[in-house]
Amino acid sequence: MSKSVSEKGGMKQLFHSLFGKTWAMWVGGILLGVGNICLFIVLKPWGASGGILNWGQNIFNSLGLVKFGSAEAALPGVNAHPYAILCFLMLLGAFVAALMSKEFAFRIPPIGEIFKGLFGGILMGIGCIIGKSCTIGGFFSGWPALSLGAIVFTAGLVVGTYVALKYLLFEMEKFPKISSGKSSSFLSAATEKASVQPLIGTIALIVGIVIAFSFNKGGNKVLVLYVLIGLFFGFVCQRSRFCIVRALREPFMTGESSAPIGVMAGILVSMFGFAVIKFMGAGTPKEMIWVWPHFWLPAIIGGIIFGIGMTLAGGCVVGSLWRAGEGHIKLWASVIGMIIAMPLTAKYISAPFYEALSPAMKQQVFLPHKIGYGGSILLFLLLILLWYLFVKWNEKTGKFSAL
């Protein structure tokens, strides 16, 4: 007779706690908030779109299709860009977690879903460049950074999510064949039987640690920590199913509140650390980090476009990365769409768009400069409280569920 989990040894119990069941999303939110503070201490807060932008710029350069100078690439070469490293290690961390929990498989959806992933990724690429933000840099890190533009960008995300959900319901009713058809899965593990997946996951984890030590030999402590934190982020996102798309989408669908509450937890933890770091750096460039010059028009336009794209794709930049690490082909298509769209939008669309705007339409507004640190923190806490009360009320009443 097989032993129950409580009868197994300490290490087996720990392994089961980590990989035997999905974590609560609020646990993931808290851990990601702590990691976000660590990133800010090391260099800058969590962001994802800059890393994918750098991937795309380097790929275009290597293929000789479009040339991007070192200024556009931020730092020459993927290996020298902290956020490119962070994104790659997030992907690897999610891959490790999926293997260790025996949840990895190549999942191939119907062709219509793959195209929605690609198109959604393209829209996210356009939206994050126009709005100078993604769901992480402009929302999960933007609110703790006390940026007024982050509030507007989030409003755009909500509008975009709503529009995309309306379209998806229309598609299901009028054109159901778009997303129907054959789907398949390869290399999945039998959860109740022995599998090679945890062994491969262990090897992949060692590879990530080796990458960290390779930068340590060169004396680059920033990249060492970005590698380790990236692994941690990918691991936590996969185990907790952390998803900002769900947080913004579920109130309009099932009404479930667990995803929004998980994101709220991460924002609150991040805000505590960010406020201390920025307050201590008052009057220095540190104070303005992650406060983008996008208030108000670029933030709302970029947010709407990004919100539509992430809902069609089924994941934002981070959600696409960790789901790709699990083997979801639709999300690989989403990442490819972003890799294509971000550098081209940055090179050909962003500059003329911003030049056409008046200064009042593209302000960089740090709220503590307007209403002080206390007032700014209270404002964001009030917004989070109102959001919490809304999702709990909607969960109970279903007033806004299913659109």
Q: Which two tokens stand for residue 168?
A: 């998806």
- Tell me how far CA of residue 123 lies from CA of 10, 60, 84, 173, 345, in angstroms: 47, 19, 20, 23, 10
CA 105 from centroid of its chain's CA atoms = 21
Structure confidence at residue 70 (pLDDT): 53
Q: At what angle do helices 297-313 and 148-174 cross, to 10 degrees?
A: 40
| pLDDT tens digit sequence for 73-108 | 344 444 458 999 999 999 999 999 999 999 999 999
What are the two backbone dihedrals, phi and then psi, of residue 106, each rounded to the nearest 5 degrees? -80, 110
Mean pLDDT taken over the chain: 93
Residue 204: partners with Cβ closer than 8 Å, 6 or more residues away: 92, 95, 96, 99
pLDDT attached to residue 73: 39
Tell me, what's the pLDDT at 1?
A: 43
Amino acid 72: pLDDT: 43
The DSSP code for 147 is: B
Instruction: Output the DSSP codes for 289-300.
Output: TT--S-EEHHHH
Helix axes 82-100, 317-326, angle to 10 degrees: 40
Query: What percent of the chain shows pLDDT beyond 90?
Result: 84
Mean pLDDT along residues 4-28: 83
Residue 331: what pLDDT? Answer: 98
pLDDT in tens, 352-400: 999 999 999 999 999 999 999 999 999 999 999 999 999 999 999 999 9
pLDDT (tens digit per residue) in 180-210:
888 999 989 876 778 999 999 999 999 999 9
End-to-end CA distance of the chain: 50
Q: Domain map of the chain by residue range?
A: 29-63+80-397
Residue whose pair of structure tokens reads 């692994």 in the numeric block:
231
Do 248 and 162 form a contact (C-beta atoms < 8 A)?
Answer: no
Q: Quick: pLDDT tens for 120-167.
A: 999 999 999 999 999 999 999 999 999 999 999 999 999 999 999 999
Joined tokens for residue 322: 């960790």
> What is d(CA 394, CA 382) in angstroms, rounded to the nearest whole number?
18
Minimal CA–CA distance to 280: which of 58, 76, 40, 8? 40
Cβ 94 vs Cβ 237: under 8 Å? yes
In this predicted model, what pLDDT tens digit does every residue of 24-52 receive, in sequence order? Answer: 999 999 999 999 999 999 999 999 999 99
Q: What predicted TM-score, i.e. pTM, was given to this entire model?
A: 0.94
Q: For the chain, how are helix, strand and coil distributed in percent, rounded to 5? A: 70, 5, 25
Contact in structure between 345 and 125 (CB atoms under 8 Å): yes
Checking if the pLDDT of 4 tops 70, the result is no
pLDDT band at 174; cut points 50, 70, 90: very high
Sign of CA dihedral 309, 310, 316, 322: negative
Lowest pLDDT segment from 51-60, 337-346, 367-376:
51-60
pLDDT confidence tier of residue 7, bands split at 50, 70 and 90: low
Which has the minimum average pLDDT: 8-17, 225-234, 305-314, 342-351?
A: 8-17
- Strand duo 362-363 + 295-296: pairing: antiparallel
- Per-residue pLDDT at 314: 96
